[in-house]
Structure 1
Amino acid sequence: MKKYRDDEKALRMFSRVKDKFKGYPPFYYHYANRALKTGDKDLAKECFETFEELWRDILRPDPLMAAAAVAMLSFIDFNNEPQKAEKYIALAENNLRAEDDGILRFGLATAKAALGKNEDARILFQHNIDFDLAVSESQLALSNLKKDAPILEGIENQHYLTYEFEEKSDRKEQQKVVEEIKKMAEHGEAEAQFRLGKLYRDGVGVEKNKDQVYHWFRKSAEQDNADAQAALGKCYQEGLGIEKDEEQAVDWLRKAAEQGNADAQAALGFCYLEGLGVKEDEEQAVDWLRKASKQDNADAQAALGNCYLHGYCVEVDEEQAVDWLRKAAEQDNVDAQVALGKCYLEGLGVEKDEEQAIVWLRKAAEQDNAEGQVGLGEYLFRHCGKKEKIQYLISDVPLFSPSLLGVRESAHYLFYRDIKAVQEQAVDWFRKAAEQDNARGQWFLGQCYENALGVDKDDVEAFKWYEKAADQGNAEALRDLSRCYLNGIGVAKDKEKARELLSIAQKLGAEDAPKLPKKAQKPWWNPF
């Protein structure tokens, strides 16, 4: 209500000062818009007409005239005033710029359709879609045009299709939105069908239902909705509401990708990369990943970055790799954050910068990425004995200086305390990764328990984590598990079992596997 009162107050102000702006066209344009906001259509029409009378062609597109001309079209009876309609259509076309608001182009397109110029209307709607302007409205109008349905049918329901479901949203309002979306979907509106499929997939406003997910995505996809085609492709990939079928997945992903859907382009690139539902094709893989990357698809950017980093499908180009990885990492893609962290650690494509490495590894680790957690934990242990690095490795450690110790002893104590604090951080990260079944994280955690690094010594726990990692084929864990059986560390001695495990470790290429140590040795990253 306050906004409405403010509009009326502004309208009165326009009325008071209009005599001072008799020769100034923009005044009447803004006056007309304010009148529209208060619902005074007669005054709005009068002001737009005055604007037109005062306006002079400035030899370049004028966005005010484009908007005024589109607004005037709403006051015209197209059946009885076709020439007047043509006049304002021409004015709008001549002054509409490519970057202008898509709603103006949408209004112009609907006017074209009302005069039977469907191909012109189609081009304008498609322009909006291609340039990400008034997309949902333009897609629905284009669908109506193809079905020979009234061009504005369902447009008023766009509010429901763009409604943001939030925890704090009113339950009754949510139910109303879901019911309206269902009505539109059952009426055959492709965008509503896609949205309903998403609601059933995510369990938002309705109970999760895999069959309904597939049903509605399929209906929408069959009407050429690119988002639905991409989603349907993933249903076939994952077996969501339908049996897995990689070839069908590729078919639907390709349909969406060819319409410019970035998610589908990325997914299709992965299919070509891994030979899923299609023959492996490195050139096609990179082509689709690049298309998606240029549309800021983070998964594609991360994959393309790794391709350049390791020479998959393309020649190694570390600088390009870092460029793509950074773009993805800045969108919170955890795989890219881990890879970018390692680039900074090793100086690949970028100047070596260990502080930046820690920043990116920590970002990934804090998103619960196991590789990031292991990488961060490993780095903490590798460098926690170096005084010059301890300050940016440590976090949340309370300051303490024992006053009874001498300066030399106190400094030694503080440095030792900080090392222990960093070790404890590392153990926390290893544990998080280990609990996600990351084999390397499990092996590192076993090392910590065996050598009392950041935790109390516990051979039984060490054996448990070595065994978990070994079960996943981790060569180092197999080697250390063999040593546990040989020396009775956390388990009863069993030389036969030790030999068997050592043989497997050797085949998998474990470092130092040929010789069994007689006793537990401290890891290479132990600072003591």
Structure 2
Amino acid sequence: MGLGDRLKGLFGGKATYASMDEAVAAINAGETGAPVDWVRGQAEAGDMRGQKLMFELCRHGVGMPADMAAGIDWLEKAAGQGDEESQSRIAGLLSVDNSPWRDPARAMPWVRLCAERGDSFMQVMLGALTLRGEGVVPDLDEARRWFDKAAEQGELDGHFAIGLAHEKGDHLPQDWDEALRIYREIAERGSGRALHKLGMLHMLGEGVETDLPAAVGYFERAAADGVIHAMMTLGDLYRGDRLGQPDHAESLKWYRMAAGHDDGEAWYRVGQAYDLGRGVEQDYLKACEAFSEAASLDYDMGKVALGTKYVNGDGVVRDLPRAYALFFLVARETDDEDARSEARRLLTEVADDLTPSQRAEAEQNILNWSA
């Protein structure tokens, strides 16, 4: 591309590109006028790659205000041309429960297409939508058919969903016996979620008699299958007194296992163990390292604990500006009421001890960490 065309790209004039790769290279180089317009033109003319790229540009607000709804429209155009990646993405965006763009009726044809192609996740999704009557007439037998197809590929979440529906009486009659039968069946087939669920039911005495040894057995099997909640529950049980005298070493074993899966609360619990010398020799440095890991995973009580260490100088050099910034950000941003209350209390205490220069440093930390 010549200098004239490049200047047009920089300043928003009309430019042409020899290929989509050339336009993408211009966008990656920071040009957001002409190359984006060129890509849009190609997409409007039916270029599938251009349509997929327009989804990303709309999604990230490149060359335009971010507009996910418009991006989804572009992605759906690519899906309509048979692009399997786009079909899977549009099905997920429009169907998963926590998606802000969830639209089961619009999702249904794409979910069905992916399910019929053999996508086990979408087979579960199609079964769930059919079970709940979202975007389709409710039909338990049809839902089971899709859950069975997914289970043939080792995906047991669909059957778990039927068990949960019977447990809660949600879209199906409440039936504890049937829920337990399903949980036990798929637990034996390797469902970690079902093992954890059975552990919780036996621990709480819901649908069955309370049986803590049985609950521990289920939790251990679920933990071996990689279920973090089971690891954390075991850590909590051994830390408390429901199983007899607390066993802090055993508790720490399970928290460490969960921490190995990048769980912020688990790292916080590991930090507490080192901080208090429970189940391990007291070590403030290792406590700080664990609290730092928890904070890096955005676990707010980990941030509060780390800030406390900076206040006291335990395991780290005393740093009031850093502590103040940690407390301030938790107090401002957390959804955890306990963390917010503790952060506010500590924030007030630290504020009284800051010098003007330390306050300025703390405010700069807040700006840097908020960016």
User: TM-score normalised by the shorter chain: which range applies?
Assistant: 0.5 to 0.7
Q: Map Cα deviations across residues 451-484 of structure 1 (whole Å, 9 max, x no partner).
A: 745999xxxxxxxxxxxxxxxxxxxxxxxxxxxx
Alignment correspondent of 1:263: 193
Question: Shift of residue 367 of structure 1?
Answer: 3.7
1:240 shift after superposition: 5.9
Q: State how 1:13-32 maps to structure 2 within 5 Å.
A: none
The offset of 1:431, in angstroms, is 3.4
Are 1:380 and 2:307 an aligned pair?
yes
- Relative to 1, partners in 2 of residues 1:239 and 1:279: Cα closer, same or farther, differing over 3 Å? same
Residues 437 and 173 of structure 1, relative CA distance in 2, 3 Å threshold: same
Find the partner of 1:283 among 213, 219, 228: 213
Question: In structure 2, what is the Cα distance between the partners aligned to 1:273 and 1:314?
Answer: 14
Secondary structure (helix, strand or coil) at the match of 1:384 reads helix
Q: Distance in 1 between matches of 2:136 and 2:184?
A: 23
Contact 1:230–1:253 (CA under 8 A) maintained in structure 2: yes
1:438 aligns with 2:337: yes
In 2, the alpha carbon distance for the partners of 1:309 and 1:285 equals 16
Distance (whole Å) between structure 1 residues aligned to residue 127 and residue 298 of structure 2: 26
**Given residue 309 of structure 1, which amino acid in structure 2 is its aligned partner?**
R
Over alpha carbons, which structure has the higher Rg?
1
Q: Deviations over 1:434-462 (max 9, x none)?
A: xx141352254156348745999xxxxxx
Structure 1 374/183 Cα, relative in aligned 2: closer, same or farther at 3 Å? closer
Are the counterparts in 2 of residues 266 and 289 from structure 1 also a CA contact under 8 Å? yes
Relative distance call for 1:295 and 1:440 in structure 2 (3 A) is closer
Question: What is the aligned partner in structure 1 of residue 267 from structure 2?
Answer: 337
Query: Cα 1:184–1:383, aligned 2, differ >3 Å: closer, same or farther?
Result: closer
Provide the rounded CA distance (Å) in 1 between the counterparts of 2:292 and 2:266: 12
Q: 1:366 to 1:241 in 2, by over 3 A?
A: farther
Shift of the alpha carbon at 1:256? 1.0
Instruction: Work out which of the residue numbers 423, 426, 429 in structure 1 matches 2:330.
Output: 429
Q: Secondary structure at the match of 1:428?
A: helix
What corresponds to 1:356 in structure 2? Answer: 286
1:320/1:354 Cα in 2 relative to 1: closer, same or farther (>3 Å)? same
SS in 2 for 1:348: coil
Letter in 1 for 2:275: L
Superposition pairs of residues 396-435 of structure 1, within 5 angstroms: 418-433=319-334
1:32-43 correspondence to structure 2 within 5 Å: none
The 1-side partners of 2:168 and 2:196 are apart by 16
Mapped partners of 1:267, 1:245: distance in 2:
16
450 and 351 in structure 1: CA distance in 2 versus 1, 3 angstrom threshold: closer
Is the CA contact (8 Å cut-off) linking 1:337 and 1:360 kept in structure 2? yes
Q: Deviations over 1:73-100 (max 9, x none)?
A: xxxxxxxxxxxxxxxxxxxxxxxxxxxx
Local SS of the residue matching 1:197? helix
Partner of 1:323: 253
Deviations 1:357-387 (A, max 9, x none): 2333333344443xxx23531452365143x
Q: Cα deviation per residue 1:284-326 (whole Å; 9 max; x = unaligned)? A: 1011111112222222122122222224336643322222211
How far did residue 181 of structure 1 move? Answer: 6.6
Instruction: For CA contacts below 8 A with separation 6 or more, give which structure has more relative contact order.
Output: 2
**Aligned partner of residue 277 in structure 1, secondary structure:** coil
Cα pair distance change 1:252/1:377, threshold 3 Å:
same
* In 1, Cα distance between equivalents of 2:208 and 2:303: 37
What's the offset of the Cα at 1:216? Answer: 6.2
Distance 1:240 1:349, change over 3 A: same
CA contact (8 A) 1:306 1:321 kept: yes
Q: Which amino acid aligns with 2:320?
A: I
3-state SS, counterpart of residue 230 of structure 1: helix
- Give, in angstroms, the shift of residue 184 of structure 1: 8.3
Aligned to 2:27: none
CA distance in 1, matches of 2:244, 2:136: 39
Change (3 A) 1:176 1:221: closer
Structure 1 residues 304 and 425, CA, compared in 2 at 3 Å: closer, same or farther? same
Query: Does the 8 A contact of 1:250 with 1:271 survive in 2?
Result: no
Q: Does the 8 A contact of 1:378 with 1:426 survive in 2? A: no
Report if aligned partners of 2:87, 2:114 keep a CA contact under 8 Å in 1.
no
Q: Residue 206 of structure 2: SS of its match in structure 1?
A: coil
Match of 2:84 in 1: 173
Quick one: structure 1 residues 444 and 352, their matched pair in 2 at CA, closer, same or farther if it must change by over 3 Å?
same
Give distance in 1, aligned partners of 2:202 and 2:119.
Answer: 31
Deviation at 1:282, TM superposition (A): 0.7
Structure 2 unaligned regions, length at least 5:
1-54, 57-74, 92-108, 356-371
Match of 2:362 in 1: none
Flag the 1:321–1:210 CA change in 2: closer, same or farther, 3 A.
Answer: farther
Alignment length (residue pairs): 252
Amino acid at match of 2:195: Q
The superposition leaves residues 326-379 of structure 1 with CA deviations (integer Å, 9 ceiling, x where unpaired) of 11111123332222221121122222222332333333344443xxx2353145
Query: Is 1:193–1:216's contact at 8 Å kept on the other side of the alignment?
Result: no
CA spacing shift, 1:432–1:239, aligned 2, 3 Å: farther
The CA distance in 2 between the partners of 1:376 and 1:306, in whole Å, is 21
SS at 2:292 equivalent: helix
Cα distance in 2 between the residues matched to 1:287 and 1:209: 40
* 3-state secondary structure, aligned to 1:276: coil
Between the two proteins, what is the percent identity of the paired residues? 22
Q: C-alpha distance in 1, partners of 2:261/2:325? A: 30
Q: Residues of 2 paired with 1:193 and 1:342: CA distance?
A: 41
State the AA in 1 paired with 2:157.
Answer: D
Note if contact 1:266-1:300 (Cα within 8 Å) is conserved in structure 2. Answer: yes
* 1:214 Cα deviation after fit: 7.6
TM-score (norm 2): 0.54
**Aligned CA distance change for structure 1 residues 281 and 382 (closer, same or farther; 3 Å):** same
Separation of aligned partners in 2, 1:210 and 1:348:
55
Say which SS state the counterpart of residue 332 (structure 1) adopts. Answer: coil
Contact 1:427 1:455 in 2 (8 A): no
Alignment partners' CA distance in 1, 2:146 and 2:253 = 36
| Corresponding residue to 1:198 among 122, 125, 128 | 125
Partners in 2 of 1:240 and 1:379 — Cα distance?
42
